[in-house]
Structure 1
Amino acid sequence: MDAVSSTDPAAGPPQRRAWVEHIMGMPVSIHLRGTGVDEVPAQQAVAEAFRVLREMDSVFSTYRPDSDLMRLRREEVGITQCSPLVEESLRIGQEAEVLTRGAFTTLLPTGEGDLAFDPTGLVKGWAVDLASAPLTALRDISFCINAGGDILVGAHPDLPSSGPGEISWRVGVEDPSDRSRIATTLTLSRGAVATSGTAARGAHLYDPAAGELVGRPGSVTVTGPTLLWADIWATALFVGGPATQEAFAASATDYRATAL
Structure 2
Amino acid sequence: MQRVEHVMGFPVSLRIDDAGDYKEAADAVFAWLREVDERFSPFRPDSEVSRLDRGELAGSEVSQDLAEVLALCEEYRLATGGAFDVRLPGRGLDPCAVVKGWSVQRAAEGLAAAGARRFVLNAGGDVVASGGPWRVGVRHPEHADRLCTVLELTDGAVATSARYERGDHIVDGRTGRPATGLLSLTVVASSLTEADSVATAAFAMGAEGVGWAAARPGCEVFAVDAGRQVLRTAGFPVAGEQPTAA
Alignment of 1:22-101 (within 5 A): 22-36=6-20, 39=21, 42-101=22-81
User: What CA distance in whole angstroms lies between the structure 1 residues aligned with 2:24 and 2:4?
Assistant: 15
Checking the alignment, whether the CA contact within 8 Å between 1:59 and 1:83 is kept in structure 2 is: no
Matched, 1:179 2:159: no
* Secondary structure of the structure 1 residue equivalent to 2:145: strand
Matched, 1:193 2:169: no
TM-score, scaled relative to structure 1: 0.80
Checking the alignment, whether the CA contact within 8 Å between 1:172 and 1:182 is kept in structure 2 is: yes
Structure of greater relative contact order (alpha carbons < 8 Å, 6+ residues apart): 1
> Is the alpha carbon distance of 1:219 and 1:210 closer, same or farther for their aligned partners in structure 2, counting shifts above 3 Å?
same
User: What CA distance in whole angstroms lies between the structure 2 residues aligned with 1:89 and 1:201?
Assistant: 23
TM superposition shift of 1:186:
0.8
Matched, 1:136 2:112: yes
Alignment of 1:196-211 (within 5 A): 196-211=161-176
CA RMSD of aligned residues (A): 1.9
Matched, 1:119 2:95: yes
Checking the alignment, whether the CA contact within 8 Å between 1:198 and 1:216 is kept in structure 2 is: no
1:253 matched to which residue of 2? 217
Q: Which string of whole-angstrom CA distances, capped at 9 and with x for unpartnered residues, describes residues 103-151 of structure 1? A: 2211136xxxx13322111100000011112211344631111111111
Which 4+ runs in 1 deviate beyond 6 A? none
User: What CA distance in whole angstroms lies between the structure 1 residues aligned with 2:182 and 2:206?
Assistant: 15
State how many pairs are aligned. 224
Matched, 1:20 2:4: yes
Identity %: 38
TM superposition shift of 1:53:
1.2
> Is the alpha carbon distance of 1:103 and 1:217 closer, same or farther for their aligned partners in structure 2, counting shifts above 3 Å?
closer
5+ residue gaps, structure 2? 225-246
1:145 matched to which residue of 2? 121
TM superposition shift of 1:246:
4.6
1:4 matched to which residue of 2? none
5+ residue gaps, structure 1? 1-16, 156-166
Alignment of 1:216-255 (within 5 A): 218-241=183-206, 244-250=209-215, 252-255=216-219
TM superposition shift of 1:244:
4.2
Q: Which amino acid aligns with 2:67?
A: E
User: What CA distance in whole angstroms lies between the structure 2 residues aligned with 1:259 and 1:140?
Assistant: 32
Q: Which amino acid aligns with 1:187?
A: E
* Secondary structure of the structure 2 residue equivalent to 1:117: coil
Checking the alignment, whether the CA contact within 8 Å between 1:104 and 1:232 is kept in structure 2 is: no
Which sits farther off after the overlay, 172-181 or 48-57? 48-57
TM-score, scaled relative to structure 2: 0.84
User: What CA distance in whole angstroms lies between the structure 2 residues aligned with 1:244 and 1:86?
Assistant: 26
2:239 matched to which residue of 1? none
